[in-house]
Amino acid sequence: MRSRINLRSLLGVIVLGSLGGVAVMVWLTLAPGPDKKAAPQKPEVAADLKLERVHYTETREGVKEWELEAASAVYFKEENAVTLDKVRATFYGKEQESYILVGAKGRYNTQTKVIEVFDGVKIDSSDGYHLRTRSLKYQSEQRELRTSDPVEMEGPDLEVKGVGMIVELNQQRVKILGGVTSTFAPLALKKPSKSAL
Secondary structure of residue 37 in the 3-state scheme: coil
State whether the Cα torsion 83-67-80-138 is positive or negative. Answer: positive
User: pLDDT per residue over 44-76, tens digit each?
Assistant: 457 788 989 999 999 888 888 999 999 999 999
Verdict on whether the full-model pTM lies above 0.85: no
User: pLDDT per residue over 140-158, tens digit each?
Assistant: 889 999 999 999 999 888 8
Q: What percent of the chain has pLDDT over 90?
A: 45
Domain spans, the chain: 49-184
Task: Tell me what pLDDT residue 111 has.
Answer: 92
- Spatial distance between the Cα atoms of 90 and 79, rounded to a whole number of angstroms: 25
pLDDT grade, residue 197 (50/70/90)? very low
Mean pLDDT of all residues belonging to the chain? 79
Cβ atoms of 2 and 9 closer than 8 Å: no
Better pLDDT: 109 or 187: 109
Q: State the architecture of 49-184 in CATH terms.
A: Sandwich (2.60)
Q: In what order do the strands lie in the sheet with 98-109?
A: 49-60, 63-76, 81-92, 98-109, 115-125, 130-139, 144-154, 158-168, 173-184
